[in-house]
Structure formats: structure tokens, C-alpha cells
Amino acid sequence: MKIFHFHLEDGWGNPSTLTCRLVDGSIKYSYYTGHTSSGIPLALSNLQVGYKHGCELPMDNLTTLGNKLSKKEFTDCCRYIINMDSTKRIVNEVETEVIFEA
């Protein structure tokens, strides 16, 4: 299940993409260049999260108090961390909900 799909840019306007999926109970991040699926895969460390304040992207949906986060709360938390404590900024969020109409 896809949790979120962000289009990012650095200070020079270089595009990249970060997706987050739930796979067999584990949170998996994919980070690559460009805004299409044909981009070059990058190490998550290239996102440089934490260079300002020491934050890290969450690896589970628990708060520091042990409460579980909803999908929206988890996405909002990641969005805040990326925009406030990385060298990238989110320029677009791709909708992850697919609706089939008859």
C-alpha cells in the first residue's frame, strides 16, 4: 500500500521523488532522481534529512508517547521533516487514491 508520493526539488531546482509504501508490515522508502519512475535510484541518505536539526524519517507509525499515527498524520510528519530539516522541499504530492467508476 502506498502511503505517500512526493515530488521534491533542491535549491538548484533539481527534481527528485520520494515514495513511501507499507510492505509486509514494514515501511519502505524509495528515493530517485526526476519526477518519473525512470529516474536513477538514490540512497535515502542523499535526501540529507537531519542536517539542520537532527531529525530522521520515521520507521514506524508510533509517536514518542507510543500512540499510533494515522496515514494522514504520518504523511504530515514526513512532510514537515523534509521541508524543515533536509536540503530538499516538497513541490507536489501525487494523489495515491485510485477510484474506478463504472
Output the pLDDT for position 38: 78
85 inside domain: yes
54 inside domain: yes
Q: What is the pLDDT along the chain (102 residues), one digit of tens a residue?
A: 889 999 999 999 999 999 999 888 888 999 999 987 778 999 888 888 877 777 788 877 766 667 788 888 889 989 999 999 899 999 999 986 666 676
Output the pLDDT for position 65: 65
Output the pLDDT for position 35: 84
Indicate the SS3 state at residue 88.
Answer: strand
66 inside domain: yes
Helix, strand, coil proportions of the chain in percent (round to 5)?
Answer: 20, 35, 45
pTM of the full predicted structure? 0.84
* Residue 41 belongs to domain spanning: 2-93
48 inside domain: yes
Residue 82 CB coordination number (10 Å): 21
Q: Which cell numbers in the block locate residue 30?
A: 524509495
pLDDT tens-digit readout, 67-91: 788 888 889 989 999 999 899 999 9
Parallel, antiparallel, or unpaired for β 2-10 and 15-23?
antiparallel
The structural domain count of the chain equals: 1
11 inside domain: yes
